[in-house]
Structure 1
């Protein structure tokens, strides 16, 4: 009999709420994201959206409600505007508003051709922090209800991480947000932390609450990262 990836795993994500998922590699964090985006389908159990089974919704329309920022932003050879819009049609004000929220507008306007500046494949002409801020703008330009952040700052240096984290916090305002975090400092401001182990929830609570929990798993994880 195969071993379930997730077992007795449950949480609620209210409108505007933020949740941080933490745990060792292989604990089920990425599987959770794939199930939410319907890249994977459930063998058992259920995901409910406003009390309705997720599979009852049109997959394409559901994915349009979600914005995703991953560890490595996928940029292609084209203009900055094209990389943000990805073939979708948005008015100029929406593109600029998304870039302002992502703290990308100022550096874009400092380029020779602004939003029409061409960037090479994988955004080779941009810094890691700049590429990630464009990815954030892309994720929120359609004004999604849900934001999924999959270790979005783990590949950045400390200086870039600080700016990108501020952009992520800004982008998350008013949106239901799930953060997969390796650097635990990046989830300090979430409403709830869920610690996963072997596909199960082993601890759940506020960051500060779990940080000081005697003999707590999360407290140990934070201490190890601070050493």
Structure 2
């Protein structure tokens, strides 16, 4: 009896590591940029692809370097971070997430930046782990604001005179969404991360992300902060 030669066992194909999150640093202070670069350098899944010293060079740098996330200072010469954020978010699809760098006394600037389309903000004295985590979360579509801060900022963003018709307009726009998308949007307005939204609504995190993405597309919004503001408006009496 002849022995059969065993078939060769194929080695499993190597699993490619995901591409690192590409980060652009925008700050007129070279010491701040150096500190941020050193903080992010230790994370293997993040890559600083460039630095810009003023807001006027941001749009060109984004076009050349294609970052996923921009860490943006507010007060800069030539063009401030709020105007630069507005210019980026006006590009529509493909625009990177903008995280505003601020200080405790910059509430008004944070509100203005979120109105301009920023995805969140970081305090300049935040620790390395917090900054790295914020960049990762922003690239993954997670909020870069705590629930408490989100609610506070949304309240400030939506403070208007009683005769304002914004609530009626928000309710009209929200009718473009499915029931499930409206439920997800309402949870986003509470500042909940995707994992908590998934637990509350008995769905997967992937489904939450899909509903948020669909809602942003239908409503022509840039990010979940703007979705939160609209959903908040729609619930006003």
Could you state the TM-score of these two structures normalised by the residue count of structure 1?
0.29
Rg (Cα) greater in structure: 2
- Give the number of the structure with larger relative contact order, counting CA–CA contacts within 8 Å between residues 6 or more apart: 1
Could you state the TM-score of these two structures normalised by the residue count of structure 2?
0.28
Is the strand fraction higher in 1 or 2? Answer: 1
Is the helix fraction higher in 1 or 2? Answer: 2
